[in-house]
Amino acid sequence: MWQSRRWRHLLNIIDGLPRNSAYHEALSNDIPLARMLSALPERKGGPIRRMREFSAEVEVLSVCADRLAELIQAVGATKGAKPKAIRLMPRPVTASQRLAARRRKAKHDSIVARMLPNRGKSTPALGRAGGAKTARAKPQPEPHEAP
């Protein structure tokens, strides 16, 4: 592969290495790379779990961690503490789950556009483009009737 210069294929193989490989260990201990990554803006969301790293053992440990968080919340609630939202352990997301989430969001956006035409995107059937205000005609005074 190195001699045939198939760089893209080689990079794909390197990117596919598990997180506990020597390559990822070397990357995590690289100080210049850490400086460069610290200059980047922080990304939104939590950690992403890959499907191939989500073994049966990891699944059981994730369930145990979730139940432990629920138990801690319940014990805190018995002492009068306000319960916080439980953050579940990350799980891999499949393509069908991402597609279903996109459909739900599109349906939600469609309902919001119909119910609240002044927010977000508006449908052309409502007569307003992009939620812009339309100019209203000034009311004309009524003509007085002659006696």
d(CA 125, CA 82): 46
Residue 4 is encoded by which pair of tokens?
Answer: 């045939």
Where exactly are the structural domains of the chain?
Answer: 1-39, 54-92, 93-123
CB contact at 8 A, 65 and 89: yes
CB contact at 8 A, 89 and 62: yes
The pLDDT tens digits of the residues spanning 33-62 come to: 889 988 888 877 766 788 888 889 999 999
DSSP code of residue 27: H
Q: What pTM, to 2 d.p., does this model score? A: 0.53
133 or 22: which leads in pLDDT? 22
